[in-house]
Amino acid sequence: MALIEVENLKIYFMTRRGPAKAVDDIGFCIEENKTLGLIGESGCGKTTTAMSLMKFIKPPGKIVGGSIRYMGNDIVPMTDEQIRRLRGKEISIVRQEAQNALNPVLTIGKQITEMILEHETVTRETALARAKNQLNLVGISDQRINSFPHEFSGGMKQRAMAAIATACNPKFLILDEPTTGLDVVVQRQILMMLRNLKNELNLTAVFISHDLSVVAETCDRVAVMYAGKIMEESDTVSLYQNPLHPYSKALIGAYPSLKGERKQLKSIPGAPPSLIDPPPGCRFTPRCELAESICSREEPGLDPIDGRRVACHMVK
Amino acid sequence: MAQYLRKTNKLKEFFQLLFGHPMGAIGVAIITLFLAMALFAPFLGTVDPSASGDVDNLLMPPSSQFWFGTDDLARDIWSQTIYGSRISLTIGFVAALITVFSGTLVGLIAGYYGKILGEVLMRIVDFFMMLPELPLMIVLAAVLGPNMWNIILVVSLVSWPTTARVVRSQVLSLKERPFVESSRCIGASNFQLMFAEILPNVVPLMFAQAVIMITEAIYAEAVLSFLGLGDPTSISWGMMLHSVFESGVIAESYWWVVPPIASIVTLIVSFSLLGTAVSDILEPGYKEKKGF
């Protein structure tokens, strides 16, 4: 059964020049214990989509349509108090820039126990024992429970964030660029830690990144986003081996590969379109090599092909 | 504060740091001296400070019998100075406690709930800030009567808006910090965000404010008493200055003027030193810089 089902989700940012369609009519499912990757350029709506899964959209952003079902329950009409009880307990998040996401004047232990005490009625001792267990789980010695964030390295802070996020055994974890700002060696350690955590706690996850190699390593399925739309959704292996959508091809072509022949990296000409006044038809048309007249007239649907979904007139 | 220190579970370390800080060490030493003075006044004061002495001993300069000399009623000035510290310290601590507690609470709520509630609270704060401090203190003290508790009330009433403002501005910045958003993301309630996440970040500021408030309260007491609005039955440094001014011998009797002024100045300066030291120490990372 799908743990998360998103249908026709529309999130607009109400600007003075009109609504910016940051996320425009997208839909996807995440099966239990699977990880969905969300990739795309900056500003394509990845983070907005991910944050909407815990209904965390700050004004002027607004969910204007669609539904987000967590275990069958739509969270869009929920009240603030209802959604607050879900956050952290059922749906949790590890955000980027852990250095700023930890409270500088509270010890790590305090921050984990507080999180547990907020959501569950357990004694302080139990919470403390669980906090120690959490630290061990993410690969930090429980002797560091009374350390302050500034006494941790960047990688350790990110580990601590993961420990806090999963302290209440959530079912669903949002990973918003959890490795951004870390060097590759630490990135790898963090990815291993997250994978370990995911297996240990039976987590379902959505993984946001613009680093294609990180996504390839961690995700079961991948959705490629462009200008607020999903362009292609596929299992990871097929997407990387045989991208169907011209944008996916371009994105993967713009990324260096360690193996295989040494090719000149191709950049995608042009810039992403305005989200307030997007081009008619397919939003990628102005930058697409394969574009024909139909592309700027009709918007392509996200049609299924061999267990994948692609939104392109030229792929049929 | 106690909770903040218990959390670090390093009370001993805190005092080590405090004594390692030159300003802190000097401040603590002087304040301890004054506290001891207030506490052991009956043993230190040679005679009853309010008891008039022998007519022969009016306005005596310092001597072996009267260390700081006597006033125009032949009362011992040394004893008066000792007993005066009681009033100043009590008023300072109590007024600072009330001011910082209420100011922080209002600032926290106003800063956290920006919109209507915050605006309404801040307009109330503005109202109290706009009140002319000294005339208000004089009027209130005159209306409520000369009594130590009324002075505390008056001082608190005019001082809390400053703390509220300072705390609010800090909270406004803190609530936009990523760690607050992160906590909200993992389900923290408004109450928890305010008191468990934001408040600990304001603690150093509260200390700085508390110290300012202590010094202001001591100063205000001196001013009110000097103007004749203090409690005439108790002896304070302000009352001493009032008496010396009233007596008309202020130009001749330096021994009567210097002790209260020197006491006020020394106490205020030492609290300022302590305040600087404490806010330095409570800043995360200070400990490491000092090699702890």
User: Parallel, antiparallel, or unpaired for β A221-226 and A308-310?
Assistant: unpaired
Has residue A298 been placed in a domain? no
Which of A119, A146, A166 is the endpoint of a domain? A166
- pLDDT over 80 at A147, yes or no: yes
Which pLDDT tens digit goes with each residue over A86-144? Answer: 898 899 998 877 778 888 888 999 999 988 998 888 999 999 999 999 999 888 998 99
Do residues A45 and A150 share a domain?
A: no
Instruction: Judge whether A122 lies within some domain.
Output: yes
Search chain A and give the residue with CA nearest B185.
A87
What ipTM does the predicted assembly reach? 0.78
Average pLDDT (B62-91) is: 79
| CA-wise closest residue to A130 among A144, A140, A143, A116 | A116
Which residue among A54, A106, A151 places its CB closest to the CB of B200?
A106
What is B87-266's CATH number? Answer: 1.10.3720.10
CATH code, A35: 3.40.50.300
Evaluate whether A233 touches A49 at the Cβ level (below 8 Å): no
Chain A residues in contact with B201 by the CB 8 A cut-off are: 103-105
Query: Do residues A140 and A45 both lie within one domain?
Result: no
Pair (A185, A256) in one structural domain: yes
Residue where a domain stops, chosen among A129, A145, A166: A166
Final residue of a structural domain among A146, A166, A186: A166
A161-209 pLDDT, tens digit per residue, is 989 998 988 999 999 888 887 888 888 888 898 888 888 888 999 999 8
> Residues A186, A82: one domain?
yes
pLDDT at B105: 95
Could you tell me the CA-to-CA distances from A182 to A96, A99, A209 in Å, in that order?
Answer: 10, 11, 13
Please check whether residue A93 touches B, CB under 8 A. Answer: yes
Is A316 a domain residue?
A: no
Q: What is the pLDDT of residues B173-194, one digit of tens each?
A: 999 888 898 888 888 889 989 9
A129 and A233 together in one domain = no
User: In terms of domains, do A180 and A72 share one?
Assistant: yes
Averaged pLDDT score across all residues of chain B: 83
A43: phi then psi, degrees, rounded to nearest 5: 85, 10
Question: Nearest-CA distance from B137 to chain A in Å?
Answer: 38
Q: Do A202 and A246 reside in the same domain of the chain?
A: yes
CA distance A214 to A188: 9
Looking at the domain assignment, is residue A212 inside a domain? yes
Cα distance between residue B74 and residue B21, in whole Å: 43
DSSP annotation string for A53-111: TTT---TTEEEEEEEEEETTEE-TT--HHHHHHHBTTTEEEE-S-HHHHS-TTS-HHHH
Does residue B64 or residue A277 have the better pLDDT?
A277
- Give a yes or no: residue A76 inside a domain: yes
What's the rounded mean pLDDT across residues B144-168? Answer: 86
At CB < 8 A and 24+ separation, what contacts does B234-239 make?
B234/B87, B234/B148, B235/B49, B235/B50, B235/B80, B235/B83, B235/B84, B235/B87, B236/B84, B236/B87, B236/B88, B237/B81, B237/B84, B237/B85, B237/B87, B237/B88, B237/B261, B237/B263, B237/B264, B239/B84
Res B51: pLDDT:
67
Three-point CA angle B191, B192, B197, nearest 5°: 125
Q: Which residue from B minimizes the CA distance to A86?
A: B187
Residue A138 inside a domain? The answer is yes
Same domain assignment for residues A158 and A202:
no
| Alpha carbon distance B281, B23 (integer Å) | 11
Portion 190-209 of B in contact with A at CB < 8 A: 192, 196-197, 200-201, 203
Is B186 close to A93, i.e. CB distance below 8 A? yes
- pLDDT at position B52: 67
Structural domain total, chain A = 2
Say whether both A176 and A52 belong to one domain.
yes
> Which residue, among B185, B190, B194, B279, would best test binding to A if mutated, counting the most A CBs under 10 Å from its CB?
B185
Parent domain of A179: 2-90+170-266
Which residue in A103, A107, A206 has the most chain B C-beta atoms within 10 A of its own C-beta, making it the best mutation to test that interface? A103
| B74 confidence band (pLDDT: 50, 70, 90) | low
Assess if residue A277 is contained within a domain: no
Residue A39 lies in a domain: yes
pLDDT digits over A197-213, tens only? 888 888 999 999 888 88
Question: Residues A156, A85: one domain?
Answer: no
pLDDT of residue A285: 85
* pLDDT score at B53: 67
Q: Cis before residue A256, ω within 30 degrees of 0?
A: no
Q: A30 and A178: one domain?
A: yes
Q: Please report, rounded to a whole number, the percentage of residues in chain B having pLDDT higher than 70.
A: 88
pLDDT score, position B110: 94
Q: What are the pLDDT digits (tens) for A30-50?
A: 998 899 999 988 888 888 998
Mean pLDDT of B105-131: 90
A72 and A183 within one domain: yes
User: Per-residue b/e over A227-265, b at no fewer than 16 CB within 10 Å?
Assistant: bbbbbbbbebeebbeebbbbbbbbbbeeeeeeeeeeeee
**pLDDT confidence of residue B3:** 46
